Amino acid sequence: MSVPKKRRTKSSVGDRRSHHAIKKINLSTCSKCGRAVKPHRACSFCGTYNKKEAIKIKTKDKKKKE
């Protein structure tokens, strides 16, 4: 079995792990409803993308209790 020839230093381990950091999500606003959405994706609330309807969103009908 192979074993490491030399011990890795803290700095070289840190250099390797420098890409593992969690990156901040960039959000843009929906042009129709103004909610925050991820860029290049349809709005999950109103279903529009690039000012056009991309997804038909089902609306819940609220029944009036009498």
Distance from C-alpha of 26 to C-alpha of 33, rounded to nearest angstrom: 18
pLDDT digit string, tens, across residues 20-48: 999 899 999 998 888 999 999 999 888 88
Output Rg (C-alpha) for the chain, integer angstroms: 24
Residue tagged 């079995």 (tokens): 1
Q: What pLDDT is stored for residue 52 in this prediction?
A: 79
Distance from C-alpha of 51 to C-alpha of 32, rounded to nearest angstrom: 7
Distance from C-alpha of 15 to C-alpha of 8, rounded to nearest angstrom: 11
Global confidence as pTM: 0.53
Distance from C-alpha of 45 to C-alpha of 13, rounded to nearest angstrom: 43
